[in-house]
Amino acid sequence: MITRKVKRELLNALDKSPAVVLTGPRQIGKTTLAFEVANERNALYLDLERPSDLSKLSDVEQFCNLNQDRLLILDEVQRVPDLFAPLRGIIDERRRKGIKSGHFLLLGSASIELLKQASETLAGRTRHIELSSLDVVEVGGEQQAKLWGRGGFPESFLAEEDQDSFEWRVDFIRTYLERDIPQLGPRIPAETLRRFWTMLAHNQGQGFNAAAFAKGLDVKGVTTSRYLDLMVDLLLVRRLQPWVSNLGRRLVKAPKTYIRDSGICHALLGIEQTNDLLGHPVVGGSWEGFVIESILNRIPKQATYGYYRTTGGAEVDLVVEMGAGEVWAIEVKYSTAPTLSRGFYSACEDLQPTHKYVVHSCEARFPLGKGVEAISLSALLGLL
């Protein structure tokens, strides 16, 4: 069994907060993690997609009072938004009785709307934790190539054969398009959204041009922006915003987009094995997305980040401000002998980072000159 990095954080949050909201895409491992927590706590699990479990909450207050000494784990909570108001009253009543923490663990697949509901209704009563794909620290550096090729959804990564993994991801994509997204409300033709998702995969690591996507889909630019909002909300796509600075430089303003899970990106492109990926035009963007997603899932919560690119050609793939004046400039290269462009050095002159790294595709760690260090992904994650 793979130990998830957020488990300790989740247990600590339950010790300090009345409610914890755990978000992540479907099949990412939220329920498995919740059962691990349940085995260590006096807990009761309800799946709100099951009518029999949902019916138990027809009188929420009575049910919670009958189980007030137990941690209630409510799965797929985004399907019952009216639940948050009574939970607030229950939490407040328990607080008055001196029961300060560990009341509810709420699991949900849609991030932004769920967090909005929770933050508005349960303000000051909840913590948020996101469960993302497996990363190289969790599975071990020796399995990095497999993780990159298959992605970090547990069933995909742990499949016996590459073909089994690929077929799981194809089914995952189809189920999201045909069932999960329609159940959340948006009325978008599945084939249109599939084309959009696939276009994003081809565009991995590039700037998002709403007009160009709109032309390809024969829709309005505002419509493609709405599609992107949806995919970001579902935690399937990352929208990396440009780094905000007051340096007086003219910056490229369009966000860069990444399919967050590398295996899903590859399945959308019909890439079944890592060897097939190596000769594909998206290999550089795929590696960049894999590295950036791994880093952003490990940085401190207070950190701010973005990419840096000026109209004059200065560019860094990822800038992370850790706090206390500590700024990392991170370039990503799928190469065992990485070289850097003038644009990277120009960007570093602008940003004056305290750390400069190039994440490359082998395990060696060595200096590149001018304060830049070539480093493996697993070694960099070990610094976070």
Query: Three-state secondary structure along 164-225?
Result: HHHHHHHHHHHHHHHHHHHHCCCCCCHHHHHHHHHHHHHCCCCECCHHHHHHHHCCCHHHHH
CB contact set of 240 (below 8 Å; sequence gap of 6+): 255, 256, 257, 258, 292, 305, 306, 307, 318
Q: What is the mean pLDDT of residues 307-319?
A: 95
The predicted-structure confidence for 146-183, as pLDDT tens digits, reads as follows 999 999 999 999 999 999 999 999 999 999 999 888 87
CA atoms of 349 and 372, how far apart (whole Å): 13
pLDDT of residue 84: 87
pLDDT for 244: 83
Q: Which pLDDT score is estimated for 117? A: 74
Residue 216, SS3 per DSSP:
helix
Task: Write down the mean pLDDT value for the chain.
Answer: 93
Gap between the Cα atoms of 356 and 352, Å rounded: 9
If one counts every other C-beta atom within 10 angstroms of the C-beta of residue 178, the result is 13
Quick one: 159 exposed, middle or buried, by C-beta within 10 A (0-12, 13-18, 19+)? Answer: middle
* Helix (H) / strand (E) containing 264: helix 262-268
The percent of residues in the chain predicted with pLDDT above 70, rounded, is: 97
Would you tell me how many other CB atoms lie within 10 Å of the CB of residue 14? 23
Q: Which whole number is the average pLDDT over 208-227?
A: 93
Residue 245 has pLDDT above 90, yes or no: no
> For residue 124, what pLDDT is reported?
84
Angle ∠(222,285,364) on CA atoms, nearest 5: 150
Model confidence band, residue 316 (pLDDT cutoffs 50, 70, 90)? very high
Position 113 scores a pLDDT of 67
Q: Determine the CATH number of domain 7-130.
A: 3.40.50.300
pLDDT at 106: 94
**pLDDT score for 21:** 92
Q: Where are the domains of the chain?
A: 7-130, 136-383
Model pLDDT for residues 97-133, shown as the tens digit of each residue: 898 999 999 998 866 666 677 777 888 888 999 999 9
Q: What gap in Å lies between CA 46 and CA 294, rounded to an integer?
A: 31
Average pLDDT over residues 292-315: 95
Please give the Cα distance from 29 to 225 (Å, whole number). 29
69-83, 207-221, 275-289: segment of lowest average pLDDT? 69-83
How far apart CA 25 and CA 8 sit, in angstroms, is 20
| Model confidence pLDDT, tens digit, residues 36-76 | 999 999 999 999 999 999 999 999 999 999 999 999 999 98
**Is pLDDT larger for residue 306 or for residue 1?**
306
